Amino acid sequence: MGHVVSIPVIVAALGYFVDIYDLVLFSIVRIPSLKALGLRGQSLIDQGVFLLNMQMIGMLLGGILWGILGDKKGRLKILFGSIFLYSLANIANGMVTTIEAYAALRFIAGVGLAGELGAGITLVAEILPKQIRGYGTMVVATVGVSGAIMANFVAGHFDWRTAYFIGGVLGLVLLILRISVSESVMFREIESRQISKGNFLSLFTSRRRFSKYLKSIMIGVPTWFVVGILITFSPEFAKVLMVTGPVSAGNAVMFCYLGLVFGDFASGVLSQLLQSRRKVVMLFLGLTVFGIVAYFLQNGQSPRMFYGVCTLLGFASGYWAIFVTIAAEQFGTNLRATVATTVPNFVRGMVVPITLFFQFARQQFGIVSGSLLVGSVCMLVALWALYHLEETFTKDLDFVEG
């Protein structure tokens, strides 16, 4: 276990911590920040969806950019560049006075954030022995998702603008810590070889590669139905479900990510004990179904019970690091960063069609029935993809794609 607590693992974990801090901060400060810009009523949902989509589109495009650069230039350069861009955008985000500026900066911050998790997971997977690399990605995820708890704490004690400033400063501090980290040996071995590196389009020119890539994305979709719909819009759901007291998005996010901390830890340990990634993801998808059902069966319950279900949903969604690890393990060293960086960001980018589908279904069938329809589609897609993916627990990662 000594390798697991090495400097590269710690630095990757802290990078994901900052990533998650900002990723959920908007969900927490959505209402107060939009009210400060003069919005009220239905605009809080409509503009909130718009800004969330801008952030996720930025992550989608940033995932492609950083992924390609990660395989062409190295994992470390991406960890530096992405956090620098994010930090500057977040500091500027604390100064916005218009929706247009807010949207533009959420897009830029999204581009910056997109490189953190994929590059970190790739680096950790390549430097650790295969017998314990699951523990390494578990540490990254467990430390990382706790950034949401800090985001809720900061947002609860400081103005929303200050909360963005703090996120930007955290990113700049992390840049200093990364100076001592070394590049992956696997990447250095292929760096000077005359082979195709970071060729994103090659994922679509081979039926076998495209199939693996698409399925790797699909297994993560339910996590962002949970976070992007059920948790982000928890105040609106709480009213419809007649929860007996006020529910804040900040607390819902905090409890969800508290569950994620334990879920990521549990999924990582189970993956090592069962020596299987697929079995663990299947188990957690089953728990997600149970959590969604529990969420909509709590009519007239207390806010405490509501937050308890949010914690359960977070725990059930705690297969995020395992899902990204599966994607990284599917592909060779010359495409691994591209895949590991784009896959989670494509999943995050799926929030755009998910929220648009949710908006349509909500208007046609009501907020409860509409969201259940969206959730059912997400779960079926994920189960189909997982069934058709290969097990990668013992796979040797020292190979390249032809």
Average pLDDT over residues 184-206: 79
Residue 400 forms part of a structural domain: no
Rounded CA separation 10/103 (Å): 32
How many domains, the chain?
1
Q: Which amino acid is at 375?
A: G
Burial of 182 (0-12, 13-18, 19+ CB in 10 A): exposed
Residue 372 forms part of a structural domain: yes
Pairwise pLDDT comparison (166 vs 156), residue with the higher score: 166
pLDDT in tens, 66-123: 888 888 887 778 888 888 898 999 999 999 999 999 999 999 999 998 888 788 888 8
**In the predicted structure, residue 391 carries a pLDDT above the cut 70:** yes
Q: Are 297 and 305 in contact (CB under 8 A)?
A: no
Average pLDDT over residues 278-288: 95
Cβ neighbours of residue 145 closer than 8 Å, sequence gap 6 or more? 16, 20, 257, 260, 261, 264, 318, 320
Cβ burial 39-52 (10 Å sphere, 16+ → b, else e) = beeeebbebbbbbb
Considering only the C-alpha atoms of the chain, give the largest distance between any 2 of them, rounded to a whole number of Å. 64
Burial of 183 (0-12, 13-18, 19+ CB in 10 A): middle
Highest mean pLDDT among 89-93, 194-198, 271-275: 89-93
Highest mean pLDDT among 176-180, 235-239, 290-294: 290-294
Q: What percent of the chain has pLDDT over 70?
A: 98
How confident is the model at residue 382, as a pLDDT? 95
pLDDT in tens, 326-363: 888 888 888 888 888 888 888 877 877 898 899 899 88
pLDDT in tens, 237-253: 999 999 888 888 878 88
pLDDT band at 306 (very low <50, low <70, confident <90, very high): very high
Residue 282 forms part of a structural domain: yes
pLDDT in tens, 251-262: 888 898 889 888
CATH classification at residue 346: 1.20.1250.20
* Residue recorded with tokens 């001592």: 180
pLDDT in tens, 128-149: 887 787 788 888 888 888 888 8
Cβ neighbours of residue 387 closer than 8 Å, sequence gap 6 or more? none
41-45, 83-87, 227-231: which has the minimum mean pLDDT?
Answer: 41-45
Average pLDDT over residues 186-213: 82
Helices first, then strands: H and E counts in the chain? 20, 0
How confident is the model at residue 197, as a pLDDT? 78
How confident is the model at residue 219, as a pLDDT? 94
Strand runs (DSSP E) across 124-264, as ranges? none
Q: Are 323 and 219 in contact (CB under 8 A)?
A: yes
How confident is the model at residue 402, as a pLDDT? 64
pLDDT band at 3 (very low <50, low <70, confident <90, very high): low
Highest mean pLDDT among 17-21, 81-85, 219-223: 219-223
Pairwise pLDDT comparison (371 vs 12), residue with the higher score: 371
CA distances from residue 301 to 253, 307, 370 in whole angstroms, order as listed: 18, 10, 21
Is the whole model's pTM more than 0.95, yes or no? no
Rounded CA separation 124/186 (Å): 11
- Give residue 322's domain range: 2-177+204-387
Residue 348 forms part of a structural domain: yes
Average pLDDT, the chain: 86
86-100, 169-183, 200-214: which has the minimum mean pLDDT?
Answer: 169-183
